[in-house]
Amino acid sequence: MAEIQPSGRAAKPPDCNMPVLRSDPLTDFRKVAIIEATANEFDNERDILPSVQRAACGTGADAIVIIKSKSQTSEGLVGYYLGAYAIVYGRVSPSVVEGGTTSSR
């Protein structure tokens, strides 16, 4: 996991209810972390998604947006890859450090 900007929120329990989106929401949001996970060639999204959701819970995020989910086979790399970013709804709060990414729809 790579933090993009502080979420400004406390971490949630690892088993929190973390909604999964397939595209950006149609409301103001901020990207707070990039989360990537890999698994072996016999796994699929259903197997790897819980670890991504747990990581997002730790950031205090409101949801995750999946940007890539695929089985991959290339030289030296065989398995399943899931890439997502954790988001919080709303505009940048004054307590958030400058320099992060803000998106508005």
Domain presence at residue 104: no
What whole-number distance in Å separates Cα of residue 63 and Cα of residue 91?
15
> 3-25 b/e with 16+ CB inside 10 Å = b?
ebbbbbeeebeeeeebeeeeeee
Main-chain dihedrals φ then ψ at residue 69, nearest 5 degrees: -145, 110
pLDDT at 95: 54
Number of domains in the chain: 1
Residue 99 token pair: 């320099």
Would you say residue 68 lies in a domain? yes
Does residue 98 belong to any structural domain of this protein?
no
Residue 38 is part of a domain; what is its CATH number?
3.30.110.70
Higher pLDDT, 12 or 73: 12
pTM value > 0.75: yes
Look at 71 and 32; give whichever has higher pLDDT. Answer: 32
